Amino acid sequence: MPPVNIGILETPTGFEVNALHSWPERTEKFFTDHLRNYQPRVRRIRAWRKDGPNSTNDPEIAYLLRNQDYIYCGAGSPSYTVRHLIHSAVYREMTKAHRSGTTLSLGSASAVAIGAYALPVYEIYKCGMDPFWMRGLNFFGRYGFSLAIVPHWDNAEGEDFDTTCCWMGKERFRRLRALLPPDVTVLGIDELTACIVGIVEEQMEIRGRGNIHIMRGTAYRRIGSGESVSWDLLR
């Protein structure tokens, strides 16, 4: 088996003072220590923001996304991720790599950011702003989908208050849904759960501990781990 090239894209955490030692460092260690049978060659791609050093518009940094078999992009701020990836050289290379067959693994803030509409989690949950959506990267728009992706759907960190729906809580998320255009599908994903979208197969496969939740208008469908369904459910 040839070695697997893995790129860890660090944009979502670029604003943090401990960006060098945040989740990308832990993820690198996980890939290196626990996936040895795949002979992983892991490269951290420090595309932290549009301006200054480590820019998402630096062509040399964007070039690093080429020839990766697997690109992982994870936690941080969804709104920061959108602002610093949209229309950037790094995002263009990422989408080109995906069209060429690279697997994209997007978690937490990155999953939020790739929707047509992105949930500004920090602004609402931490800063107390009124509920609103921002335009996202709309990764799935090219495939005919208009999505709002909401991970951490079953979050239970609030011991005496509701933190489901990505820390929004059910009541606040009900108001958020009312703000979306009627043609937008909400894709909720439970924690420790993967929604694997096969572009060629036009299928979704659910793996892990929980479920995914598909909402559009008054329609709701829950799909459990182990199930495989058509991606047309997202239309």
Domains of the chain, CATH where assigned: 1-112 (3.40.50.880), 114-235 (no CATH)
Q: What are the backbone angles phi and psi of residue 212, rounded to the nearest 5°?
A: -110, 160
What is the reported pTM?
A: 0.96
| Alpha-carbon gap, residue 83 to 166, rounded angstroms | 20
| Alpha-carbon gap, residue 135 to 141, rounded angstroms | 12
Q: Which tokens sit at 49?
A: 């923001």
| Alpha-carbon gap, residue 178 to 147, rounded angstroms | 14
In this predicted model, what pLDDT tens digit does every residue of 153-202 receive, in sequence order?
999 999 899 999 999 999 999 999 999 999 999 999 999 999 999 999 99
Average pLDDT over residues 202-223: 97
Dihedral angle, C-alpha 94, 100, 102, 105, nearest 10 °: 50
DSSP state, 57?
T
